[in-house]
Structure 1
Amino acid sequence: MLTLGQRFWKNKTAVICGLVLIIICMGAVFAPVLAPKDITQMDNAHRMQGSGDGYLLGTDQFGRDLLSRIIYGARTSLTVGICSVAISAFFGTMLGLLSGYFGRWIDTIIMRTMDILFAFPEILLALAIVAALGPGTYKTILAIGIVNIPVFTRTVRGAVLSVKNLEYVESARAIGQKTSRILFLEIFPNIQAPLLVQASIAISGAILTESALSFLGLGVQPPNPSWGGMIAESRRYMELAPGMIIWPCLAMTLTILAFNLFGDALRDLLDPKHRSR
């Protein structure tokens, strides 16, 4: 039987997407070192120009370096994506554990509340929350985190239902272990696989939602660069400087695609049916 590491290195999709995500994350972390220019530095003599004159990807309508702003935009998008998913995963896991383990009226209350949240389209619910709280990076993180809680709650609840009556859980109950110990030391370690897969896929959705909010002017606020904000600013100048919209779109597409494919590969790697392959 192959180990998880051996199966990972045999899965080309997981390896390639993992390397792409590592490069993107490293670029975001070391943005101050990698960015060739200050993201707020304006060069009126080279506004909306293409590649050249010290600007690898060209400049925007204010003469700011597009490459530097895209690198810092990666930091913004990944920060929002990871932090919002962390919020969703934490509260969704807690609610899913309670709902799946206790059932009855607790399950009914929690799941009907999640159904109400599910009834709203994700972007509309995020818009409503941000409109109520006001625009800003931290408020965007909170809004996206709240929107994604039902997905994690359902994922964890389904996993709990599949394991809560297995022998090792019944044995823990029989010897009188506390409910909290059963939940967090017996059940939770055995439901982490679907949780990890859902988290990796949810990050791509969170990045897309953040970009949509920033595009509408309700997400990350200027002068902080955001891929969605850059796309919104560049739509007026698409014919004059197409690179202004092409490069942030490519960066966002590559990141979202890498997270989605990595999540699919991770699901296959953690699936017991594939462990003998």
Structure 2
Amino acid sequence: MTFGQRFWKNKTAVVCGLILLLIFVCAALAPVIATKDPTAMDNASRLAPTGSAHYALGTDQFGRDIWSRVVYGAKVSLTVGIASVAISTVCGAVLGLLAGYFGRWVDTVIMRVMDVLFAFPEILLALAIVAALGPGTSKTILAIGIVNIPVFTRTVRGAVLSVKNLEYVESARAIGATTGRIMFKEILPNIQAPLLVQASIAISGAILTESALSFLGLGVQPPNPSWGGMISESRRYMELAPGMIVWPCLAMTLTILAFNLFGDALRDLLDPRNRSR
């Protein structure tokens, strides 16, 4: 049974994949589907409730359209999540390959550095990096990317250790293949499965971390829309305009849940033990 056939038989993968596709489309077409400028203020319509005539999801304390801000917030969160995980994946893959393939002192040095990074709580380390670099979207991407490197390094290292002495690797050594070719042409393509699964799950964690940093005022800076920033601003107005906190929370929860469940489904689909089912 092919991967595509198994994918369409997995209801979790299909449903979560469609939800993520819808979120990506909304983020990509934000300038088209957003009914208003997300930073435009309408003082006459401040704290408008959900279902208002001109504002489907209501407005915030400045009269800004919540629907437009949620849609643009999706664009920001996905950009930060994917870009930061891309940094983590590349750096973690290279370090994990080096540690797993060469072993000895190379493995010891790399993994002890990773252990030091693992010793810090993820959000605390991200806060420290952003505090040192300064707030902003690009700084947030870099901070989250650095925080996730140890996870990818450990994942790749474990996968390399399990395959580096298999027959196809020994054959490549026997015909005189260079170390770089063995690592990146023989080993890396054969350990893609755990790397892809880890990346899909890490995106949800990156979105959550970005929201936490924006909530604290260290991530995406106002007036640019961010789910975390929207939740932070809504704390004072929850009773007057509950939609201010409900809609960004719902969007963030749905996105994170979809990425997590899709990652779990992808892990099952890529498991060699399930390929014959």
Structure 2 length normalisation: TM-score?
Answer: 0.99
> How far apart, CA to CA, are the structure 1 residues paired with 2:209 and 2:87?
15
1-side partners of 2:23 and 2:101: how far apart? 39
Correspondence for 1:161: 161
* RMSD between aligned residues: 0.5
**Could you tell me which residue of structure 2 aligns to residue 263 of structure 1?**
263
**Alignment deviations for residues 35-90 of structure 1 (CA, whole Å, 9 cap, x no partner):** 00111211111111112121110000011100000000000000000000000000
Q: CA offsets, 1:167-212, max 9 Å, x none?
A: 0000101111000000011000000000000000000000000000
Q: Deviations over 1:130-150 (max 9, x none)?
A: 000000000000000000000
2:267, 2:89 → 1: CA distance?
A: 17
- Give 1:128's aligned residue: 128
Structure 1 residue matching 2:239: 3-state secondary structure:
coil
> Does residue 55 of the first structure (1) align with residue 55 of the second (2)?
yes
Q: Distance in 2 between matches of 1:40 and 1:213?
A: 20
> How far off is 1:244 after superposition?
0.2
Structure 2 residue runs without a partner (length 5+): none
Structure 1: runs of 5 or more not aligned: none
Q: Distance in 2 between matches of 1:44 and 1:181?
A: 62
* Distance (Å, rounded) in 2 between the aligned partners of 1:30 and 1:203: 20
Whichever residue aligns with residue 195 of structure 2, its letter is L
Instruction: Report the equivalent of 1:172.
Output: 172
Residue correspondence of structure 1 range 1-277 to structure 2 within 5 A = 2-50=1-49, 51-277=51-277
SS at match of 1:191: helix
Instruction: State the Cα distance separating 1:257 from its structure 2 match.
Output: 0.1
Letter in 1 for 2:29: F
Between the aligned partners of 1:117 and 1:229, the Cα distance in structure 2 is 27
Segments ≥4 residues shifted beyond 6 Å: none
Match of 2:10, as an amino acid?
Answer: N
Query: 1:31: Cα distance to partner?
Result: 0.3
Structure 2 CA distance for aligned equivalents of residues 100 and 236 of structure 1: 51
Output the CA distance in 2 between the equivalents of 1:245 and 1:20. Answer: 21
Partner Cα separation in structure 2 for residue 258 and residue 190 of structure 1: 26
Deviations along 1:80-115, whole A, 9 cap, x unmatched?
Answer: 000000000000000000000000000000000000
Query: For 1:8 and 1:171, how far apart are their aligned partners in 2?
Result: 33
Report the number of matched residues. Answer: 276
Identity of aligned residues (%): 81
Q: CA deviation at 1:224?
A: 0.8
Normalising by structure 1, report the TM-score: 0.99
Instruction: Supply the distance in 2 between the matched residues of 1:106 and 1:209 (Cα, whole angstroms).
Output: 31
In structure 1, distance between residues paired with 2:165 and 2:158: 13
